Amino acid sequence: MTTEETSAILQELVTLLGSGRCLTDEDSCNHFGRDWTRFATPNPAAVLLPESIAEVQQIIQLARRFNTPIVPSGGRTGLSGGAVAANGELVLALDRLNRIIDVDPTSRSITCEAGAITAQIQEAAKSIGLHYPVDFASSGSSQIGGNIATNAGGIQVIRYGMTRNWVSGLKVVTGTGELLTLNRGLLKNNTGLDFRHLMIGSEGILGIIVEATLQLCSPPTDTAVLVLGVKSMGAIMSLLQRLQGQADLLAFEFFSHLALEKLIAQQGLRAPFDGASPFYVLAEYERQGEHSDRELEAIVEQVMAAGEADDAVVSQTIAQAKSLWQLRENISETIARWTPYKNDISATVSKVPELLVKIGEVVEQRYPDFEVVWYGHIGDGNLHLNILKPDSMAPEEFETKCKSVSEELFKIVDGCGGSVSAEHGVGLLKKEFLHYSRSKEEIALMKSIKRLFDPDLILNPGKVVDMDTAGRGDS
């Protein structure tokens, strides 16, 4: 846009929203123009804070008239650059669309606006004795619209699945400003194509999610947390197989000793036991009485007798369980100061041992001078490989070095039938690697679908797929 065009649309936006909700100051632009990634400098033209669906529609219609790109912004906790506005876009922040509209114990559902915080939804469910089970470390700041747009996973996917499993209705504003009401919160609705599922995981390139209806379930009861120090990745998978046969698992997580060292040094957390192990497993499970306790004890004794584990601890109180969970959930926040380059990969659980061996060999060979932190939701096949930037290295040089190795890693992921982005989304950072998980034909269809919902290509441009401006998507 020219300076005159920018000035003209900003004048109309101020008329629509008022100067207090159309922000152009540097602090606001820096805060709202980025997510948790730090590889692009935010540079939005303005930050918009609508308070109604009608205002979102009017903003989209104005943006369309002025051919101005829009970047939707939720809690800005994303890790793939999907909410970065670096090229003079308008940031459409959903922070003020945050109401819980309805809590329905009969339908076991919650209807809320897109800016509602995940933890707020969890508390609303708890108030009627029910449970919203999609949970992760950023639940205190992430927004449900962003969770849905990225199909967020988290720590209990092994039991409850991804966000997609819990969305029974959506309201979405398309790139033309049209409001779509999708599925109406129905559990059974067999009336043709379900556009709701196109929007889930679409990262804002098809429409702006403004309202959602979420299903709830009964909460787990009498849970406990087990942490073991294990000697190898192979031992982790062996332990998973043993536990799956005997324990009602809610979560099965792992992290490396380097991750634990960073937590102890940066946050003052205590190690779970005196000895050190190469890797640690955290398993949360639902207790089924003394019989299940004895079975779990037997499994722990077996893996230790087999030389697969060094030590173990089981939570005895809720406070201790929360303390043990901090060892896993606080990792991402702790290592953020090293501007980590994140690889969020997955495979089917049966393919994880093969993937781990092959990835491990490449990492050891290609990253000899970098600190490498492993952690992830290994119980559902999701591994987080974090390369930490040396303090002396410029971010641009670091990103270039990491990307060159990512090509090699993603070829391995492709060979194992896996995904280059298990739960973080594609955004900016994984866009050029999308072809390792999606075929040329699939990518072409994605671009065609985007043109149907966003014919002027104003919604989150440059994310997920690149589009040309001549009516055809790039191949």
**Which residues lie closer than 8 Å to 36 by C-beta, 6 or more apart?**
76, 77, 78, 79, 336
Task: Give dist(CA 297, CA 314) in Å, integer.
Answer: 10
Residues 384 and 352 in one domain: yes
Q: State the burial class of residue 275 (Cβ atoms within 10 Å of its Cβ: 0-12, 13-18, 19+).
A: exposed
pLDDT in tens, the chain (475 residues): 678 888 999 999 999 999 999 999 999 999 999 998 877 899 999 999 999 999 999 999 999 999 999 999 999 998 899 999 999 999 999 999 999 999 999 999 999 999 999 999 999 999 999 999 999 888 999 999 999 999 999 899 999 999 999 999 999 999 999 999 999 999 999 999 999 999 999 999 999 999 999 999 999 999 999 999 999 888 898 899 889 878 889 999 999 999 999 999 999 999 999 989 999 999 999 988 777 778 888 999 999 999 999 999 999 999 999 999 999 999 998 999 998 999 999 999 989 989 988 998 998 898 888 999 999 999 999 999 999 999 999 988 998 989 889 889 999 999 999 999 999 999 999 999 999 999 999 999 999 999 999 999 999 999 999 998 654 344 3
Q: Hey, is 267 helix, strand or coil?
A: helix
Strands 70-73, 90-93: pairing is: parallel
Structure tokens at 238: 């062996």
| CATH number of the domain where residue 85 is located | 3.30.43.10
Residue appearing with tokens 């935010």: 42
Regarding whether 371 and 292 lie in a shared domain, the answer is no
In this prediction, residue 475 carries a pLDDT of: 35
Cα torsion at 120, 124, 127, 133 (round to 10°)? -80
Picking from 332, 353, 374, the residue at the C-terminal end of a domain is 332
Same domain, 231 and 206: no
Task: Give yes or no: residues 166 and 233 share one domain.
Answer: no
- Sheet containing 207-215: give its strands across: 100-104, 109-113, 207-215, 167-174, 179-182
Cα atoms in the Cβ-side hemisphere of radius 13 Å centred on 20: 2
β-bridge partners, 90 = 46, 70
Q: The domain spanning residue 193 has which CATH number?
A: 3.30.465.10
Q: Are residues 280 and 322 in the same domain?
A: yes
Q: C-alpha dihedral over 15, 20, 24, 26, to 10 degrees?
A: 180
348 in the same domain as 324: no
Number of domains in the chain: 4
Question: Last residue of a domain, which of 188, 215, 242?
Answer: 215
Contact present, 28 and 45 (Cβ < 8 Å): no
Q: 233-246 and 290-305 are packed helices; what angle lies between their axes, rounded to 10 degrees? A: 160
277 conformational bin, left if phi > 0, alpha if psi -120 to 50, beta if neither: beta
Is residue 205 located within the same domain as residue 232?
A: no
Pair (286, 315) in one structural domain:
yes
Which has the closest alpha carbon to 149: 455, 443, 450, 425? 425
Contact 39, 399 (CB under 8 A): yes
**Domain assignment of residue 449, yes or no:** no
Please give the pLDDT value at position 369: 87
* Amino acid occupying residue 271: A
Same domain? For 124 and 160 the reply is: yes
Domain encompassing residue 374: 339-434
Distance CA 91, CA 70 (A): 6
The tokens describing 339, both together, are 């501007």
Residues 6+ apart with CB under 8 A from 98: 112, 113, 115, 116, 117, 120, 143
Q: In whole angstroms, what is the distance from residue 151 CA to residue 143 CA?
A: 12
Sheet containing 90-93: give its strands across.
Answer: 22-23, 46-48, 90-93, 70-73
Q: Is residue 444 part of a domain?
A: no
Q: Is residue 189 domain-resident?
A: yes
- Domain end position, chosen among 60, 93, 126: 93
Cα-trace Rg, the chain: 23
Angle between helices 352-366 and 233-246 (to 10 degrees): 160
Question: Exposed, middle or buried: residue 425 (CB in 10 Å: 0-12, 13-18, 19+)?
Answer: buried
Tell me the angle at which helices 3-17 and 53-65 cross, rounded to the nearest 10 degrees.
160
315 and 277, same structural domain? yes
Please give the Cα distance from 374 to 383 (Å, whole number). 7
- Same domain for 328 and 345? no
In this structure, what CATH number is given to the domain that contains residue 228?
A: 3.30.70.2190
Cβ density class 344-380: b for 16+ within 10 Å, e for less: bbbbebebbeebbebbeeebeebbeebbbbbbbbbbb
Query: Does some domain include residue 464?
Result: no
Question: What is the Cα–Cα distance from 252 to 440, expressed in whole angstroms?
Answer: 34
Angle, alpha carbons 440-445-449 (nearest 5°): 150
Cβ(283)–Cβ(378) below 8 Å: no
**Which pLDDT belongs to residue 470?**
54
